Amino acid sequence: MPEAKSKAQQQAAGAALSAKRGETDVGDLQGASKQMYQSMSEDELEEMASTDRSDLPESAAD
């Protein structure tokens, strides 16, 4: 299962997970969160969104 590599990725996964669960509107998703919503299962999103943030950089190095 995937783990977030940055705080930004974790936040995008959280937004996508919220939309998957029907808690937020899918139309509000943008960029990475929209792609994650379309390509990942709820379980994958949940694991990525629950990654411990303490050691994550703000954004992933390209």
Q: Is the per-residue pLDDT at 1 higher than 80?
A: no
Could you give the CA distance from residue 28 to residue 46 in angstroms, rounded to a whole number?
A: 19
Query: Which amino acid is present at 54?
Result: S
Token pair of 2 as six digits? 């995937």
pLDDT at 54: 85
Task: Let me know: does 24 contact 48? Beta carbons within 8 Å.
Answer: no
Q: What is the pLDDT of residues 2-53, one digit of tens each?
A: 889 999 999 999 999 999 999 999 999 999 999 999 999 999 999 999 988 8
pLDDT of residue 25: 97
